[in-house]
């Protein structure tokens, strides 16, 4: 019986793949109860050849070779459908886990009968790791619905999720959307879980490449950022909207105001379009500055949100430039 399937979508990561796979094959958990399901998504570099070397050496790696690139959502969905494990863990192929990750996840799952376990993570650079501690947002025992809607991180990694939650609720990654797609999956799975647990351990290394993903947005029109709105609407379809109005509003602040406007500012969208976008948000959420969850936001985020509220675009652009320098 397989306890855990680790799903690894692979595409053009020859420089990082060995470190990723090493972190998985060296897990201190019974290898007969682990499956590494590696989906090679039509890479054009040496990733496929590297994977084949590991497959020859380790019998618990299950490879899937795609003839052409289908995208990370397709690869993850394929992994979900074919996983043999009772639980699923995701690992991006340019990132890596601590060697005791699976044993720690499974210990919590067994002791607390949890079906969704999440942990802290590291933002990792060449010479340093920065721990991201989200323990202040979640209860020490079962994570509440309010906490899930408001604070659940979107990233698929650094979480262990029971496969049956995916299958029983027909939850898969949307293959028609390339950005923010995890909003329609990870918080939804946590919301639907019977016993979601937060574990105050940092287990995952989210490696930062030098190239900035935000640069790919430059020169796009405002309609290119509709994925923020589309994924948000799909997310709240699963939520009791009458019961959790404040939590949904706070999530909207996070996604549709802070997140979307920050990306648009970095993409050099015109002032008029930015002002129109802010106006659209304020019409839908006119009293958003009174949302009680904003008290737990960082001062920097609150300042940025207030700059947007008062349409102080010049100062908001300075904030966006500083953010870009700090995060790449």
Percent helix, strand, coil in the chain, to 5, is: 50, 20, 35
The predicted pLDDT at position 222 comes to: 60
Which residues of the chain carry a pLDDT beneath 70? 210-222, 326-328
Q: What does the pLDDT look like over 271-287, one tens digit per residue?
A: 999 999 999 999 999 99
The predicted pLDDT at position 224 comes to: 85
The predicted pLDDT at position 29 comes to: 98
- 249/69 Cα distance (integer angstroms): 37
Residue 299: both structure tokens together: 């001062």
- 102/107 Cα distance (integer angstroms): 8
- 171/185 Cα distance (integer angstroms): 7
Decide if 98 contacts 91 (C-beta within 8 A). Answer: no
The predicted pLDDT at position 325 comes to: 75
Residue 170: both structure tokens together: 């027909």
pTM, rounded to two decimals = 0.93
CA atoms within 13 A on the CB side of 228: 20
- Residues 6 or more apart whose Cβ sits within 8 Å of residue 141: 112, 197
What is the three-class DSSP state of 44?
Answer: coil
Residue 185: both structure tokens together: 């999956």
- 322/215 Cα distance (integer angstroms): 15
Residue 15: both structure tokens together: 């420089």
The predicted pLDDT at position 328 comes to: 55
- Residues 6 or more apart whose Cβ sits within 8 Å of residue 216: none
Decide if 281 contacts 254 (C-beta within 8 A). Answer: no
Q: Which domains does the chain have, with CATH numbers?
A: 4-207 (3.90.550.10), 213-327 (no CATH)
């Amino acid at each position: 019986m397989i306890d855990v399937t680790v799903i690894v979508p692979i595409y053009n990561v020859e420089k990082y793949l060995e470190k990723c796979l090493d972190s998985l094959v060296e897990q201190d958990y019974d290898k007969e109860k682990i499956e590494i399901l590696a989906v090679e998504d039509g890479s054009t570099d040496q990733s496929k050849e590297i994977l084949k070397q590991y497959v020859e050496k380790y019998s618990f790696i299950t490879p899937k070779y795609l003839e052409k690139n289908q995208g990370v959502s397709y690869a993850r969905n394929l992994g979900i459908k074919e996983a043999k494990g009772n639980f699923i863990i995701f690992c991006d192929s340019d990132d890596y886990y601590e060697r005791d990750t699976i044993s720690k996840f499974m210990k919590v799952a067994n002791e607390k009968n949890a079906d969704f376990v999440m942990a802290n993570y590291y933002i990792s650079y060449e010479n340093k790791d920065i721990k991201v501690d989200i323990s202040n947002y979640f209860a020490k025992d079962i994570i509440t619905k309010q906490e899930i809607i408001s604070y659940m991180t979107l990233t698929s990694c650094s979480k262990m999720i029971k496969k049956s939650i995916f299958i029983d609720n027909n939850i898969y990654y949307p293959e028609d959307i390339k950005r923010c797609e995890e909003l329609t999956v990870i918080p939804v799975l946590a919301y639907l879980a019977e016993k979601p647990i937060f574990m105050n351990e940092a287990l995952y290394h989210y490696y930062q490449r030098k190239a900035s993903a935000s640069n790919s947005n430059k020169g796009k029109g405002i309609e290119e950022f509709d994925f923020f709105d589309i994924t948000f609407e799909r997310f709240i379809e699963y939520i009791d909207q009458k019961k959790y109005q404040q939590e949904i509003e706070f999530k909207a602040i996070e996604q549709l105001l802070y997140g979307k406007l920050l990306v648009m500012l970095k993409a050099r969208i015109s002032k008029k379009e930015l002002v129109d976008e802010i106006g659209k948000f304020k019409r839908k959420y006119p009293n958003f500055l009174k949302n009680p969850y904003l008290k737990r936001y960082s001062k920097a985020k609150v300042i940025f949100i207030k700059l947007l509220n008062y349409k102080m675009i010049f100062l908001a652009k300075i904030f966006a430039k500083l953010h870009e320098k700090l995060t790449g």
